[in-house]
Structure 1
Amino acid sequence: MTTTNYESSHRQLDPITFEVLRSSFVYTCERMSLVLKKSSFSPIIYDMEDFSTAIFDPNLELIGQAANCPVHIAAMHTSARASLERYPVNELSPDDVIILNDPYNGGTHTNDVTMTMPVFYDGELLGIAVTRAHWTDVGGGFDTHVTGEGLRLSPLKIYKGGKPNNDLINIISSNSRTPQYIEGDIQAQMGSLQAAKAELTRLADKYGVDKVRQGMREVLDYTQEMTKKAIRQIPDGEYNASDYIDSDGFTNDPVRVRVKLVVKGDRLELDFTGSDPVTIGPVNSPYANTVAAVYYSVKFFLNPDAPGNAGMYRQIDITIPEDTWLNPRWPAPTLACTTTTASKVASGIWLALAQAIPDAIVAPTYAESNWFTASASDPKTGESHIFSDLPAGGWGGTPTNDGMHVTTDPLGNSQNLSAEVAELMFPIRYNAFEMRTDSAGAGRYRGGVGVHLEIEFIGRGELIWMTCSRTIEGSPGVNGGLHSAQQRQLLKSPDGQIKTIGGLAEDGSWHSQILRDIPFQPGESFVFESTGGGGWGNPLERDSKLVAQDVLNDIVSREQAAKLYGVVLTDDFEVDEEATKLKRAEASIKS
């Protein structure tokens, strides 16, 4: 990364020292992530990588982060702030660690557990290390009251001077359906924090505390300047857009995000006035989660090469009215806030940006994590197991390329649960995980495709909950691009019969896409069909040879090639040029 063009009245470090420190802040977080991944007990952490690590300066401004879950990162400063308000730094000792997951006291949803540890050097506060991990189970589920979603931990000291608070750990373990993971995951997060301490101490030993702190200040200023420059490239104006979740699980009404994006000089304003009120179901998003969604969604278009830190936040103003579903009050449930709501906030912002920078925008993704948690009993031992998965979908088309296939939504760099790990640990069988034909939004550059997932329960099972959306319209396109296919949730019997349990059924009826307490008998399978990303540009302008290639690769069917792209193929997958020219001309006249 070049830093020679950066000018600031606050600059004191030479470019080489600045770059070494900047890189070291990122490396510190990468080492934290490696320790956490390698030492955790839960598959959702070590295999699916649903966690994040970050370091903050003494003023609680984000200094460095690893490439973990973007929806975690920008919300973690809220957790750290709540922790240090409860336990002020001057009352803490080295290796004291604070834990929390309370959505209304620094957290987002109860499964995301944050641990915060101040790092001292010669008795002075050098920085703050924070790690957040999604725990498999915290003893709750789908509810209309946040207390029903699991054990809530307001800031509590879980380590004092490096020694664990075993009484608290026992309470946490006793309130989880997966107690076998709890102690190991806590120790893994503690190990991650210790890695941060080691790296920051090493920097202070080498450069001195004053120079490290100066590096923290300058890296924030650097990102701020890069962000200012990026915002200036967007035309001034007001841009409005919206997106929605199909329902909150209790009513059949869509729940809408409404965003007004205002660009003025080098400042960006996001105003969510007009978004729907607090919902009965668990899609409400605490303020910290909504703000995190704003930051990661605009990061894509505000110089993504700039260091990821709070310098970007300085140029962004956010208005989120209270008592909307994007800024609720206790006790509104929040279970799906990170996995579903955050992605709709991001999609709404991308659709607004499509009006401002149409030639640079990317069409919305499938905009979900499609998170589900299920139980599965072992028919031989009777033991019950809990597992989760995050079946991905497609990203939207871009101004120059097609969208990526089966890739996690921008909200997180998490992975799906691998079939090998799942079948080794749980009494289930993965019968299918394959790309889904005709799931991508058509366009000059089409979206990426989603996936067809089929999980068979060997013993009795239950889909405890699932949060998703895009079951009514699919992912929207931009600049003339089309929507993708709808997502669907199905139950497959051993004889192959299919029953729709979420989304649009064959008879045209629609079933709520937020599921809970769905029983499965031995041999029955849960089938999920995720969608692709939206299309970019008019599909009639797509290179006909690329359409033929898509048909050959089972990404697009022959029928859709003719209907949406106006491309007619011969039996050997060659483009029938005359028939295609005629069909595209007819389609252009109709449009």
Structure 2
Amino acid sequence: MSELDEIRMQVMWNRLISVVEEQALTLLRTAFSTSVREAGDLSAGVFDPQGQMLAQAVTGTPGHVNTMAEAVLEFINEIPRDEMFEGDTYVTNDPWKGTGHLHDITMVSPSFLNGELVAFFACTAHVVDVGGRGFGADGKSVYEEGIQIPIMKFAERGAVNKDLIRILRANVREPNQVIGDFYSLSACNEVGHRRLVDMMREIGLTSLDNLSEFIFSRTTNAMRERLAQFPEGSWSNELMTDGYDEPIRLAAVVDMKDGLVNVDFTGSDPMSRWGINVPIIYTKAYASYALKCVLAPEIPNNAASLAFFTVSSETNILNAQRPAPVSLRHVIGHMVPDLVFGALAKALPGQIMAEGAGALWNIHISVRPVAGQSGQNAEVLMFNSGGMGARPALDGLSATAFPSGVHTMPIEATEHTGPVIIWRKELRPDSGGDGEFRGGLGQIIEIGAADNHEFDFSAMFDRVTQAPRGRNGGKNGTAGSVKLDDGTAMRSKGWQHVPAGKRLVLNLPGGGGYGDPAQRCAKAREQDKIQGYVTEERQ
């Protein structure tokens, strides 16, 4: 390939990334759910006709992007090629063939040019409700957690499946929001298809074969060169999480050999009877993300780069089998990067960050008027973040969603969805672990209902009994807590009630510190004090 051809291919690759970015932005702009519109809890990507991911949108979470990279193959396996038509859109929320739980809707659309299949577009988003028990850990099987949609057609030749719409409307609490998001997902893929076809016609392409070969060959070569710089060997780590009613141990062994990396989760605790189990597709998504963050952060994320990472496990909480309850698979799944980092820290001493809050502190609020009073019913979902662990040369980021990467929802957007008042949302002093580099701070969030209203809430929290650990002599971050404003302790998981006039107070965990606290410079300590990150008592 000539230098000029390489430049043209690189330009087309960049154009492809802009196509999927516009695809994702369409979803952001048209979504009904605040978790999508405000928090960016979504993914979008383009795939070749064999179902290999060519490019992903920058907007999106690893748990969606990397599961979607495998989910498209499930769609191709179940829908025969001769049953795919222009204008089709396919859908599922199967946790084992999609993204790990029922609340995520995955849509895949074939893209045709001049009657020939040239690509697939896929997108995923979290919807506000799927019926059943609602978003929480209380289910005893996936059948209790909501409506299950097998891989099927949402639309055929552009005609929407009205029977599916009627079934959805009869099974969810917020039908207008949910069905609106289904149409937004479909529109997202349609925009990607249109932009791709426009690009191909402009450039004169009849297929993406040459561009695919360029993308995958460059990525493969870059990954081989990068992985060759790291030592071969085997390293293990264990991490404790709160669990539901008792702590749960996660275990991982990272093997690097012959330019490939495998993570084995055998040794983790058995499946839980509560909805915190993780399908292996989601475990792999975050294990691959952790490996890529450390080993090849600058190399594009596509089928070729992901091919260097594999996972294995016996049946356990990180490889849950159907029909295990999996609604809160993210709470344990978000701990996987810290688990993998702990093993890599033994292979690469002095290069790996400390543990952080990990799991999002999601809360689903079901608010209603007190009996005998008039008012509004509403379902409200909030995403909140604790602190990140400190890094080998920098303090941890405060109130940051790592590893999920979603945004926090603005208070105004949350309060607009129903009679909920956020009385306080501020950084939590002294929550970051001490060290040469300080852990990121958590938050304090105080939530109440409007006058004459009460609410139930689904707690989806962790790091309450098991604080994030520091690294290389750094101190642990401060664990979280859940209570009412009168001091009544609440559980970290499960549905609970907040009476009218009471407020829920969430203290989110801070990240672990890095390095010997005695090595922290006096100027940094003074700035911590001035900015209120650390109080006089902590000093």
Q: TM-score, normalised by structure 2?
A: 0.95
| Distance in 1, Cα, partners of 2:207 & 2:299 | 21
2:462 aligned partner: 469
The equivalent position to 1:90 in structure 2, one of 79, 82, 85, is 82
- 2:454 maps to 1:454: no
- 2:195 maps to 1:229: no
Name structure 1 gaps, 5 residues minimum. 1-9, 503-512, 562-591
1:55 aligned partner: 46
The equivalent position to 2:511 in structure 1, one of 529, 533, 538, is 533
- 2:292 maps to 1:296: no
1:485 aligned partner: 478
| Distance in 2, Cα, partners of 1:12 & 1:193 | 33
Q: Report the CA distance between 1:201 and its aligned residue.
A: 0.7
SS in 2 for 1:300: helix
1:403 aligned partner: 396
> Amino acid of the residue matched to residue 514 of structure 1?
K
Matches within 5 A, 1:200-279: 200-209=196-205, 212-247=208-243, 249=244, 251-252=245-246, 254-279=247-272
Q: Report the CA distance between 1:442 and its aligned residue.
A: 1.4
1:179 aligned partner: 175
Q: Report the CA distance between 1:244 and its aligned residue.
A: 2.8
Q: Report the CA distance between 1:206 and its aligned residue.
A: 2.7
Q: Report the CA distance between 1:479 and its aligned residue.
A: 1.4
2:95 aligned partner: 103
Q: Report the CA distance between 1:211 and its aligned residue.
A: 6.1
2:7 aligned partner: 16
Residue 265 to residue 540, structure 1, CA distance change in 2 (3 Å): farther
Q: Report the CA distance between 1:78 and its aligned residue.
A: 2.9
| Distance in 2, Cα, partners of 1:112 & 1:430 | 26
Confirm or deny: 8 A CA contact 1:287 1:328 kept in the other structure.
Answer: yes
Matches within 5 A, 1:36-435: 36-67=27-58, 68-141=60-133, 142-209=138-205, 212-247=208-243, 249=244, 251-252=245-246, 254-321=247-314, 323-337=315-329, 339-378=330-369, 381-411=374-404, 413-435=405-427
User: Alpha-carbon deviations, 1:334-382, whole Å to 9, x = none?
Assistant: 0111x21221111100111111112221222210111121111256643
Residue 439 to residue 237, structure 1, CA distance change in 2 (3 Å): same
| Distance in 1, Cα, partners of 2:79 & 2:205 | 24
Q: Report the CA distance between 1:221 and its aligned residue.
A: 2.1
SS in 2 for 1:14: helix
Residue 463 to residue 295, structure 1, CA distance change in 2 (3 Å): farther
> Amino acid of the residue matched to residue 417 of structure 1?
M
Confirm or deny: 8 A CA contact 1:140 1:151 kept in the other structure.
Answer: yes
1:559 aligned partner: 537
Q: How many residue pairs are counted as aligned between the two chains? A: 531
| Distance in 2, Cα, partners of 1:34 & 1:244 | 37
| Distance in 2, Cα, partners of 1:477 & 1:208 | 55
User: Alpha-carbon deviations, 1:215-239, whole Å to 9, x = none?
Assistant: 1222122222222222222222211
Confirm or deny: 8 A CA contact 2:376 2:418 kept in the other structure.
Answer: no
1:500 aligned partner: 489
Q: Report the CA distance between 1:276 and its aligned residue.
A: 1.4
| Distance in 1, Cα, partners of 2:193 & 2:4 | 23
Confirm or deny: 8 A CA contact 1:100 1:107 kept in the other structure.
Answer: no
SS in 2 for 1:374: strand
Q: Report the CA distance between 1:210 and its aligned residue.
A: 5.4
Confirm or deny: 8 A CA contact 2:168 2:179 kept in the other structure.
Answer: no
In terms of mean alpha carbon deviation, does 392-401 or 355-364 score higher?
A: 355-364
Residue 279 to residue 220, structure 1, CA distance change in 2 (3 Å): same
SS in 2 for 1:317: strand
SS in 1 for 2:489: strand
| Distance in 1, Cα, partners of 2:28 & 2:257 | 42
Confirm or deny: 8 A CA contact 1:377 1:384 kept in the other structure.
Answer: yes
| Distance in 2, Cα, partners of 1:151 & 1:198 | 32
The equivalent position to 2:527 in structure 1, one of 544, 549, 558, is 549
| Distance in 2, Cα, partners of 1:320 & 1:444 | 37
| Distance in 2, Cα, partners of 1:106 & 1:38 | 23
Q: Report the CA distance between 1:77 and its aligned residue.
A: 2.8
| Distance in 1, Cα, partners of 2:333 & 2:219 | 24
1:510 aligned partner: none
| Distance in 1, Cα, partners of 2:213 & 2:27 | 28
SS in 2 for 1:182: helix
User: Alpha-carbon deviations, 1:467-513, whole Å to 9, x = none?
Assistant: 22111231111111121000111112xxxx221113xxxxxxxxxx2
Confirm or deny: 8 A CA contact 1:277 1:325 kept in the other structure.
Answer: yes
- 2:501 maps to 1:523: yes
Q: TM-score, normalised by structure 1?
A: 0.87
| Distance in 1, Cα, partners of 2:272 & 2:392 | 36
User: Alpha-carbon deviations, 1:94-144, whole Å to 9, x = none?
Assistant: 111111001134341010010111111122211110010100110123301
| Distance in 1, Cα, partners of 2:180 & 2:466 | 42
Confirm or deny: 8 A CA contact 2:430 2:538 kept in the other structure.
Answer: yes
Confirm or deny: 8 A CA contact 1:21 1:212 kept in the other structure.
Answer: no
| Distance in 1, Cα, partners of 2:228 & 2:518 | 34
> Amino acid of the residue matched to residue 523 of structure 1?
G
User: Alpha-carbon deviations, 1:23-78, whole Å to 9, x = none?
Assistant: 12211111011111111111111112211111111121111111211111110133
| Distance in 2, Cα, partners of 1:26 & 1:320 | 34
Q: Report the CA distance between 1:204 and its aligned residue.
A: 1.9
| Distance in 1, Cα, partners of 2:119 & 2:375 | 48
SS in 2 for 1:301: helix
Confirm or deny: 8 A CA contact 1:473 1:485 kept in the other structure.
Answer: no
Confirm or deny: 8 A CA contact 2:113 2:206 kept in the other structure.
Answer: no
Confirm or deny: 8 A CA contact 1:78 1:107 kept in the other structure.
Answer: no
Residue 121 to residue 12, structure 1, CA distance change in 2 (3 Å): farther
> Amino acid of the residue matched to residue 293 of structure 1?
Y
Confirm or deny: 8 A CA contact 2:51 2:76 kept in the other structure.
Answer: no
| Distance in 1, Cα, partners of 2:389 & 2:98 | 32
> Amino acid of the residue matched to residue 140 of structure 2?
T
| Distance in 1, Cα, partners of 2:2 & 2:361 | 45
Residue 112 to residue 234, structure 1, CA distance change in 2 (3 Å): same
Confirm or deny: 8 A CA contact 2:368 2:455 kept in the other structure.
Answer: no
> Amino acid of the residue matched to residue 149 of structure 1?
E
SS in 2 for 1:24: helix
Q: Percent identity?
A: 27
Structure of greater Rg: 1
